[in-house]
Amino acid sequence: MEKQFSYVTKLDIKFDHLQRIDIPKMVEECKDKWFNQTLTQVNDSVVRIGIVEGEYHWHKHENDDEFFFVLDGQLLIDLENDQTIELNPNQGVTITKGVVHRPRAPKKTVMLMVETNTIQPTGSY
State the DSSP string of 42-79: ETTEEEEEEEEEEE---BB-SS--EEEEEEES-EEEEE
95 found inside a domain: yes
124 found inside a domain: no
110 found inside a domain: yes
98 found inside a domain: yes
pLDDT at 120: 85
> How does pLDDT run across 69-94, given as a tens digit for each residue?
999 999 999 999 999 999 999 999 99
123 found inside a domain: no
* Count of structural domains, the chain: 1
pLDDT at 124: 81
Residue 36 belongs to domain spanning: 8-116
pTM for the full model?
0.93
122 found inside a domain: no
Q: Tell me if 6 sits within 8 A of 34, measured CB to CB.
A: yes
CA nearest to 53, candidates 29, 38, 32: 32
